[in-house]
Amino acid sequence: MASFKGKSGTCLDISASHPRWRIDLAGKICFHFRSMQYSKYSAAGGTPREPSPSVDPKRLRRRMVREQLEARGISDPAVLGAMFAVPRHLFVQEALRSQAYEDTPLPIGYGQTISQPYIVALMTQLLEVQRGMRVLEVGTGSGYQAAVLATIGCTVFTVERMRELYQITSGLLRQLGLRGIHMQRRDGTLGMPEAAPFDRIIVTAGGPEVPRPLVDQLDEGGIMLIPVGSKPRTQRLVRVRKEQGRVSSEDLGPVVFVDLVGDHGW
């Protein structure tokens, strides 16, 4: 694997030597985190409400897991179990809850989105998480990814830069009673040094390079997933490993994420 060297470095394309990690741009997967301008996230200040009684969320989640995840290669039992358990409809705007289990990203306000279920499951599987791991998430957004990780049994330290989303999502996570999630509002590119080191780091926005503070906070044997690219919203998904003091990276394919903003981002 090639060492990551920031803007001027290279990432190893592993699609030939490791076909099971290949990501087909024209086929299954392109990470569509669309920048949409919608009203504020409707859960703010209120108690999460269930969708229409005529809709069974568990039945929709079961179909989502079967048709969107298992059918497309998601095989980790812990990931599949968490994706079935977490009520995704509570993490989207009330007006869009009928679409919560469809194979599409949805806006959550402030130009941000909740990614499609398959992308959440895929990134969680690529992260190779296990119960008891300490995970840093950069970019809390709706809180759905953090909820999935916590349901697997990870202790999640999650950072959100935007004040409005921080207030909304922290309130929602409290209302849902999810344990093991520690959320702060700060520049995510600086990580959370007081809680480091982390077994895993997941970054849900794309920047020009891998932030050095995040590499420093990754524990020995740790894995980080981060979108990296020289242009905003045009990135490659990079999996960084730290082994025996050596930092290396894998190129997992083309992606499109919202911009990573901060001292070590855009």
CA-nearest of 16, 73, 102, 31 to 255 is 31
Q: Would you call 39 a catalytic residue per the annotation?
A: no
DSSP letter (8 states) at residue 42: T
Report the SS3 class of residue 151.
helix
Give the orientation angle of helix 144-152 with respect to helix 117-127, to 10 degrees.
Answer: 50
Parallel/antiparallel/unpaired status of strands 181-185 and 198-203 = unpaired
Report the SS3 class of residue 18.
coil
**In whole angstroms, what is the distance from residue 78 CA to residue 85 CA?**
10
Amino acid letter at 14? I
Cα within 13 Å of Cα(190), Cβ side = 10
CA gyration radius for the chain? 17
Name the catalytic one among 115, 142, 170, 249: 115
Handedness of CA 138, 185, 181, 29 (dihedral sign): negative
214 phi and psi angles, rounded to 5 deg? -70, -40
243 phi and psi angles, rounded to 5 deg? -135, 120
Scan for tokens 């990135």, then name that residue.
235
Residues whose CB falls within 8 Å of the CB of residue 244, separated by 6 or more in sequence, listed in order: 220
Q: Which residues are catalytic?
A: 115
